[in-house]
Amino acid sequence: MTPAEYRTAIGDAVCAALVGRAGVAALWEGGSAATGRLDEYSDIDVVIVAALDEAPAIFDAVERALSGVDRIVHAWRVEPPPFRDTAQRFYFLAGAPRFFAVDCVIVTEAAAAQFLELERHGEPRVLFDRTGNIRALPLDHASLAVRRAQRVVQLQGAVPVYRMLVEKELVRGHPLEALGSYQALLRALIEVLGMRHRPDRFDYGWRYVESELPADAQALIRRYAFVADGTALRQKSDHLGAELTRQLELVSASLPAGPPSR
């Protein structure tokens, strides 16, 4: 099978296993299929709307459906789940295309909206929907703006601490421990660049940086992402800290006056 045919077979099998199942209110495909990023390396991301106490039985049904297409060679139960009111598992299959995985998320009906914001998650590919509620929703820009402003305050507090920790561990002769704090600074830089260039998805971290951030922002990340040794780490850390402070000042200047509140 081609990668596209394989994806279709997996989606059809999961849908057939769940469409008649009591307690499953809806099923949709998100991820690359929803955002228009599908390519030969894409996973399949399926979102199942159901009560969380049904999750073990639903995952069993999903695994039986997957096994009817191909042999499961690896399963990961994501615990704790990264999002509220969800349960999540990943599956690798024996004959799948290279890099293919099944990302299966169960979400309660009350919490489903967090995965339906159009600007963040794209247009869901609905496989079935007994609720009539599964559709792309407009992003709450005001709420997200508050969260961005709160995050700026947090980063402004954190950056001097991480800069100090890098320097301290280098002085101690612990470049590996220094690298941990340096990486925290790098993640912060990516987040702040996201606030400037993709504000609706500023918190997506490394995801899509090479398709969503402009060339100059990508070049800035590359400048600091690769470190040869402890000597280079010391030099780059000073420059990264200064650049991050500058970027925070640019973002902070664009925020409304007054402290963020909600």
Taking only the tens place, the pLDDT of each residue in 68-108 is 999 999 999 999 998 999 999 999 999 999 999 999 999 99
In the block, residue with structure tokens 């925020």: 255
Residue closest to 59 by CA, chosen among 19, 28, 25, 14: 14
- Residue 258 inside a domain? The answer is no
**DSSP bridge partners of 87:** 106
- Residue 205 inside a domain? The answer is yes
- Residue 68 inside a domain? The answer is yes
- On whether both 180 and 235 belong to a single domain, the answer is yes
Instruction: Tell me the C-alpha distance between 9 and 69, whole Å.
Output: 7
- On whether both 104 and 194 belong to a single domain, the answer is no
- On whether both 113 and 220 belong to a single domain, the answer is no
- Residue 211 inside a domain? The answer is yes
* Intervals of the chain under pLDDT 50: 261-262
- Name the token pair of 4: 């596209």
- What was the pLDDT predicted at 261? 47
- What was the pLDDT predicted at 95? 95
Q: How many domains does the chain have?
A: 2
Instruction: Tell me the C-alpha distance between 220 and 186, whole Å.
Output: 10
In sequence order, what are the residues at sequence separation of 6 or more whose Cβ sits closer than 8 angstroms to the Cβ of residue 68?
Answer: 13
**Radius of gyration of the CA atoms of the chain, in A:** 22
Instruction: Tell me the C-alpha distance between 247 and 47, whole Å.
Output: 36
- On whether both 44 and 122 belong to a single domain, the answer is yes
* Domain, as residue range, for 166: 141-253
| 3-class SS shares of the chain: helix, strand, coil, % to 5 | 55, 15, 30
- What was the pLDDT predicted at 258? 57
In the block, residue with structure tokens 């690798």: 92
Distances (CA, A) of 199 to 118, 139, 247, 249: 14, 12, 14, 16
Last residue of a domain, one of 106, 129, 152: 129
Half-sphere exposure of 54 (CA within 13 A, CB side): 18
Angle (nearest 5°) at CA 27 between 25 and 30: 140
**Quick one: DSSP state of residue 32?**
H
Instruction: Tell me the C-alpha distance between 124 and 145, whole Å.
Output: 24
Last residue of a domain, one of 101, 129, 157: 129
Q: How many C-beta atoms surround the C-beta of residue 17 within 10 A?
A: 20
Instruction: Tell me the C-alpha distance between 44 and 125, whole Å.
Output: 11
- What was the pLDDT predicted at 257? 66
Instruction: Tell me the C-alpha distance between 194 and 190, whole Å.
Output: 6
- On whether both 148 and 56 belong to a single domain, the answer is no
We report the CATH number of the domain holding residue 117 as 3.30.460.10
Residue closest to 2 by CA, chosen among 72, 65, 73, 95: 95
Instruction: Tell me the C-alpha distance between 27 and 181, whole Å.
Output: 40
- On whether both 213 and 249 belong to a single domain, the answer is yes
Instruction: Tell me the C-alpha distance between 29 and 102, whole Å.
Output: 11
